[in-house]
């Protein structure tokens, strides 16, 4: 039995509108120029109309770009328009094959009458076309990000997880160790007390190799260095004394520290092809006195300082290890093309373009892609299958993550003939940064990862595709894509599925508790004021909190279930942190409310107003 809900394909419509609008604008200018009486658009330098206007105005300075650059830009635009036109050919096929269901019920296999036969018929009719689309739309590298900071999964769990990732179609791992890496010597204090041992790192690499998963380590070298700069021993390297996020690029000790970190990471990862050197969100740049003096002396801007530092780091990796460094792209978005070209950093780096929400085409417009295509020989894209909602979120909404991946695939389709795409990294953040609380844990997001990896490979997320995901995950109940429609937990059997089930139960229980607390009987008769003064109508208290005993019982049981489920994946410290963040506060609140409601209902006689409050006693 299939449960569906169709959502409008906004992205496809948006793409069609953009393409149609561009064509109309080009036709208007080509035929007649701007409409009379309206404010005209600026003519692009180098176009035929611009040259004519320049001749009429005797203003040769208007031609600011070389003919070679104009020719290249025109060719680039033509390729983009060709891609848009080509994408429209498959629009109808995608509409048929790529619905947006809320989920699918798997306890009874869909029959032909339930709709699977219709999908199979479409597949048979369009086999040749669909195979062609999938092949040309395939990304070679499909890398899964493991954010390990502050909460390392047990090695025994990873032994079960990695084969599953391979079965989903993953080709590699981006391992962000942070304080979970076993640094030694002068760097020993960079490691958390519950960090992996050297033998654990060797095991991780071996397990990944057995499952054909290429390993790419990630080490931060500029921003997000909190795990280093929080320590007294390295505090002098902060760009801003009170902020341990960004390292000072002009401090003489900075580069030697970063080189030592890279040396130890690479010593433990022999034979790798890529190293990710981070460098995203460098919010504090060129702010210390030393950096400001350096900028003044070198006549540098802050962008030049950024490029100068990352170039030295990338050159060290490439020259000493013959390994290709990769960097996050966000700082490059605001740096002019000429500055990047002059730095020659593109000869050393590959770029990883990240965006975890929707609106990718708006935020990452064509100028950015043109800049990257002219500078970098390798471009990666980075989506998110979890951990990109809120810093305190504990459960993943798959539909949000799927929307992000659908937009990324549209970007890929649009630019694949002009951008040297290497592959995609599906990020899965465990904390927003070193100091942040735990957000969405990996096991509860495995269904999201499976759905999105399948979509990247097949460009499908219809009920047939979801049924195959359910089979791989050994699910026998409803696979939910949107949290707002969740009525009961999904039942599956994959590594960490107990954490997945606990997270769903917690979401449902918190929603039920919130509904109870916003009941008019509670808001009107069991407020803090009523409880403080022990003054309420027993009947309203009873009616408003009739589900309280059951919810408290369920929450108490959930705490025990959570401890057991989490202990199969994480160490005792992670288990305690997750319980303290997500269950204990609500459990304590329910217990306190239960005690207060009992007291309110036991009262038989009440005083006249005004009530004798603590505030009145003080008066």
List 138's β-bridge partners, or say none. Answer: none
Q: Give yes or no for a contact between 503 and 164, defined as CB atoms under 8 angstroms apart.
A: no
Strand positions, DSSP E, 407-500: 421-428, 479-480
Three-class HEC string of 314-369: HHHHHHHHCCEEEEECCCHHHCCHHHHHHHCHHHCCEEEEECCCCCHHHHCCHHHH
DSSP assignments along 547-584, one per residue = THHHHHHHHHHHHHHHHHHHHTTB-HHHHHHHHHHHTH
Element (H, E) at 185: none
CA 337, CA 368: separation in Å to the nearest integer?
Answer: 9
Tokens of 580: 């303290």
Q: What's the CA angle centered on 169, arms 112 and 387, to 5 degrees?
A: 100
Which one is catalytic: 123, 281, 287, 542?
281
Of the candidates 138, 130, 134, 135, the residue with the CA atom closest to the CA atom of residue 93:
130
CA 500, CA 493: separation in Å to the nearest integer?
Answer: 10
In 214-351, alpha helices (H): 226-229, 254-267, 289-298, 302-321, 337-343
Tokens of 551: 């919810």
Please tell me the number of Cα atoms within 13 Å of 101 on its side-chain side: 23
CA 290, CA 246: separation in Å to the nearest integer?
Answer: 14
Tokens of 564: 């057991």
Q: Who's near 5: CB < 8 A, 6+ residues apart?
A: 100, 101, 102, 482, 485
Active site residue 214: no
List 384's β-bridge partners, or say none. Answer: 427
Q: Who's near 557: CB < 8 A, 6+ residues apart?
A: none
CA 360, CA 157: separation in Å to the nearest integer?
Answer: 34
Round to the nearest angstrom and report the end-to-end CA distance of the chain.
67
Of the candidates 356, 369, 359, the residue with the CA atom closest to the CA atom of residue 424:
356
CA 453, CA 166: separation in Å to the nearest integer?
Answer: 10
Active site residues: 281
């Amino acid at each position: 039995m299939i449960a569906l809900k169709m959502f409008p394909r906004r992205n496809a419509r948006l793409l069609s509108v953009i393409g149609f609008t561009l064509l109309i604008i080009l036709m208007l200018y080509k035929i007649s120029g701007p409409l009379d009486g309206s404010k005209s658009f600026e003519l692009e330098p180098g176009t035929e109309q611009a040259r004519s206007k320049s001749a009429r105005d005797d203003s040769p300075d208007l031609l600011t770009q070389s003919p070679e650059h104009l020719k290249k830009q025109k060719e680039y635009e033509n390729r983009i328009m060709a891609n848009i036109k080509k994408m429209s050919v498959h629009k109808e096929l995608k509409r048929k094959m790529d619905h947006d269901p809320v989920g699918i019920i798997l306890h009874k296999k869909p029959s032909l009458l339930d709709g699977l036969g219709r999908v199979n018929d479409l597949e048979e009719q369009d086999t040749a076309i669909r195979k062609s689309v999938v092949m040309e739309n395939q990304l070679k590298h499909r890398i899964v990000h493991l954010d390990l900071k502050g909460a390392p999964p047990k090695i025994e769990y990873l032994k079960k997880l990695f084969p599953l990732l391979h079965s989903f179609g993953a080709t590699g791992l981006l391992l962000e160790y942070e304080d979970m890496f076993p640094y030694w010597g002068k760097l020993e204090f960079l490691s958390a007390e519950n960090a992996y041992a050297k033998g654990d790192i060797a095991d991780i690499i071996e397990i990944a190799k057995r499952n054909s998963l290429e390993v790419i380590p990630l080490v931060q070298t500029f921003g997000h260095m909190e795990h280093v700069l929080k320590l007294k021993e390295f505090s002098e390297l902060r760009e801003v004394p009170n902020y341990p996020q960004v390292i000072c690029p002009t401090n003489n000790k900075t580069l030697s520290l970063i080189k030592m970190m890279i040396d130890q990471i690479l010593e433990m990862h022999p034979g790798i092809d890529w190293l990710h050197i981070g460098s995203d969100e460098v919010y504090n740049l060129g702010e210390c006195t030393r950096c400001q003096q350096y900028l003044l002396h070198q006549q540098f801007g802050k962008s030049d300082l950024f490029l100068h530092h990352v170039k030295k780091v990338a050159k060290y990796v490439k020259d000493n290890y013959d390994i290709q460094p990769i960097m996050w792209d966000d700082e490059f978005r605001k740096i002019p093309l000429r500055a990047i070209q002059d730095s020659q950093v593109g000869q050393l780096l590959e770029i990883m373009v990240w965006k975890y929400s929707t609106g990718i085409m708006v935020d990452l417009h064509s100028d950015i892609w043109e800049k990257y295509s002219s500078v970098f020989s390798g471009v990666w894209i980075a989506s998110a299958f979890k951990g990109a909602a809120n810093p305190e979120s504990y459960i993943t909404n798959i539909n949000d993550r799927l929307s992000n991946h659908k937009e990324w695939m549209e970007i890929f389709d649009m630019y694949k003939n002009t951008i040297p795409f290497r592959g995609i990294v599906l990020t899965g953040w465990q904390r927003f940064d070193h100091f942040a609380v735990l957000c969405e844990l990996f096991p509860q997001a495995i269904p999201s990862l499976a759905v999105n990896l399948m979509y990247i490979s097949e460009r499908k997320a219809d009920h047939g595709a979801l049924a195959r995901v359910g089979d791989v995950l050994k699910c026998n109940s409803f696979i939910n894509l949107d949290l707002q429609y969740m009525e009961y937990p999904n039942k599956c059997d994959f590594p960490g599925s107990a954490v997945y089930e606990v997270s769903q139960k917690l979401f449902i229980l918190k929603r039920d508790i919130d509904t109870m607390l916003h009941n008019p009987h509670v808001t009107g008769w069991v407020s803090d004021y009523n409880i403080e003064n022990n003054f309420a109508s027993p009947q309203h208290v009873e009616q408003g909190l009739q589900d309280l005993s059951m919810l408290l019982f369920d929450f108490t049981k959930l705490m025990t279930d959570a401890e057991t489920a989490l202990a199969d994946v994480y160490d005792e410290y992670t288990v305690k942190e997750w319980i303290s963040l997500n269950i204990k506060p609500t459990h304590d609140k329910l217990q306190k409310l239960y005690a207060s409601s009992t007291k309110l209902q036991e009262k038989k006689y009440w005083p006249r107003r005004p009530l004798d409050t603590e505030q009145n006693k003080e008066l």
